[in-house]
Structure 1
Amino acid sequence: MITCELRLIKYILFIFNLIFAISGIGLIIAGSLVLSNVEEFSHFMESKVLAPPVVLIVVGVIVFLVASLGCYGAIRESYYLLMAYALCLLIIFIIEFAVGIAAASYKGEFQLSLALRNAMNSSLKKYDTSKLDKIAWDNVQRKLECCGVDGPNDWIRRPSSCCHALRENAPDPSPENCRNAKPGDDYLYNYGCFPELEMKAARASKAITGVGIGVAFIQIIGIILACWLASAVKHKDDK
């Protein structure tokens, strides 16, 4: 009876770990996609936004390695390997759950939006004196098709990255033309960059929350199966 139970749990755990290894790859992909989506605007982002996807990638690699340990422990029917596997799963579960909760709290956190706005306002003032700030602003305004923090009027000397030519007969978006452009002109980006960056940060947090917490709860099944198989192995060895 114990042998049949042992064989059944062993194969169930083996199949589970194959799925678990795939979920580790999924964590790596999800973390990489989120990071690539916000990293190019990292000049304005706090580490609170950039850290969770990095942690998710690291956890994904660890998940893949731990899943391999679980497969090996199941095949060998080793009590100590299975318990080590269950302990690793528990630690990973706690880390993922913490990252998911942190991302969820940052998503709706007023202080995060305030910090983002303050960072953008501070950087905008240094546009003419700092090469890094100039590159960051030109990049974000061209990529997101926006201008200033809340709008083009934020600039005293509006840069040419705030403008583009929408029509063949539109004026050349030179620094002078862009500086003299009025809100509503075809070649001027009339919306601020803050709402766009805030939305990107919120989407990143939402993605991390869903993936992190979702995979974390699946790991509970792995912990239960590993402990069950370890118990069956111990009973078999005691006889």
Structure 2
Amino acid sequence: MKLMFNNCTMSIVKYVLFAFNFVFALSGLGILIAGALVLADVNEFNHFIEGRVTAPPIVLIITGTIIFLIASLGCFGAIKESPPLLITYAVLLAIIFIIELAVGIAACVFRADLESSIKNSLLETIRRSNDMDLKAWDNIQNKLMCCGVNDPTDWQYESRYNPRILRGSCCKPEFTDPSTKDCQNSLVLAKDKYFQEGCITKLKDRIDSNATILIGVGIGIAFLQLLGIYLACTLASAIRRERAANN
């Protein structure tokens, strides 16, 4: 009777682990897609952002790919009822969990000085104002509907571009001069014609929003990984007990 109970329990754990790994494989694809979307979004403003900001989504893309492969190993180990494969699977899950935890801690630590780092980068480029800088500024101001670092007066006091005329990317669309790409007759005081909010706030909010997505996905996957480790170890132990009993 006890042997039948153990066999029944092992079968249940095996099929639960197989189903879990199928879901886990899909979650790996989900992580990969989430990381790719965030990376694409952040890369639009990579002229102003240090590589440390792009590192977490890159790590998630790699992690998602590895999770998909590990989940496949877990499915195979469950079907074959192989304790060595199941333990290898559990160890790999534990390693990935530790890596994710380290990346999460590093991201939280970096968030503390994120605004200062971005602000310094924005100020440096607006002061330099070469062709590449101005093109990057046009991109960020158009897409985030902002102007300057803290406010539009940064173009007056910080930039060597032109202290009197704002770039067209600062303007509301109806006030952009199509021939010059600048604001129509817009001195810095013509506040009705251009965006009032600085880009530092908009860019930080964008990055924070992406970070929230990555943290949420990471926490959800971490709990799945712990469950996977438990199921794999439980099944490996049950298989070994059954084989020892049969021998």
Task: Tell me the TM-score normalised to structure 2 length.
Answer: 0.87
Other-structure match for 1:123: 125
1:171 is displaced (CA, Å) by: 6.9
| Cα deviation 1:38-68 (Å, max 9, x = unaligned) | 1101111122221101111110111111000
Counterpart Cα distance in 1 of 2:137 and 2:62? 30
Structure 2: where are the runs of 5+ without partners? 157-161
Structure with more contact order per residue of length (Cα contacts < 8 Å, sep ≥ 6): 1
1:140 CA drift (Å) = 0.5
**Paired amino acid for 1:226:** A
1:185 aligns with 2:192: yes
Q: CA deviation at 1:99?
A: 2.2
1:115 partner letter: S
Q: Do the aligned partners of 1:103 and 1:208 also contact (CA within 8 Å) in 2?
A: no
Whole-angstrom distance in 2 between the partners of 1:4 and 1:171: 73
Pair 99,74 (structure 1): closer, same or farther in 2 beyond 3 Å: same
What are the Cα deviations for residues 170-191 of structure 1, in whole angstroms up to 9, with x where unaligned? 57364373652524223x2222
Give the aligned partner of residue 136 of structure 1. Answer: 136
> What is the count of residue pairs matched by the alignment?
231
Paired position in structure 2 for 1:82: 86
Amino acid at match of 2:187: N
Q: 1:113 aligns with which of 112, 115, 122?
A: 115
Q: CA RMSD in A?
A: 1.8
Classify the secondary structure of the residue corresponding to 2:184. helix
State the shift of 1:104 in Å: 3.1
Structure 1 counterpart of 2:231, from 205, 225, 229: 225
Partner of 2:169: 161
Q: Can you list the C-alpha shifts for 1:127-176, whole angstroms capped at 9, x where unaligned?
A: 1x3x321221111111111111011111131322222443xxx5736437
Q: Which residue of 2 aligns with 1:210?
A: 216
Residue identity matched to 1:194: I
Q: Paired residue for 1:28?
A: 32
Gaps of 5+ in 1: none
Q: What is the deviation of 1:223?
A: 0.3
Q: 1:159 to 1:74 in 2, by over 3 A?
A: same
Q: What is the SS of the residue equivalent to 1:41?
A: coil
Contact 2:176 2:183 in 1 (8 A): no
SS state at 2:149 partner: coil
1:165 to 1:64, Cα distance in 2 relative to 1, 3 A? closer
Percent identity over the alignment is 45
Deviation at 1:80, TM superposition (A): 0.7
Question: Deviation per CA, 1:83-140, whole angstroms, max 9, x where unpaired?
Answer: 1000011011111222223333333x0x22111100000011121x3x3212211111
Write the distance in 2 (CA, Å) between the matches of 1:147 and 1:231: 62
Residues 142, 161 of structure 1: 8 Å contact kept = yes
SS in 2 for 1:155: helix
Q: Which residue of the partner structure matches residue 159 of structure 2?
A: none
Change (3 A) 1:14 1:120: same
* Structure 1 runs of 4+ with >6 Å offset: none
Which secondary structure state, in structure 1, belongs to the residue aligned with residue 189 of structure 2?
A: coil
Larger displacement relative to structure 2 (82-91 or 171-180): 171-180
- The answer to whether the 8 A contact 1:104-1:205 is kept is no
Question: For the structure 1 residues 222 and 75, does the alpha-carbon distance in structure 2 shift closer, same or farther, using more than 3 Å as the test?
Answer: same
- Of the structure 1 ranges 95-104 and 142-151, higher mean CA displacement relative to structure 2 is found in 95-104
SS in 1 for 2:153: helix
Asked if structure 2 preserves the Cα contact closer than 8 Å seen for 1:27 and 1:56, the reply is yes
SS in 1 for 2:191: coil
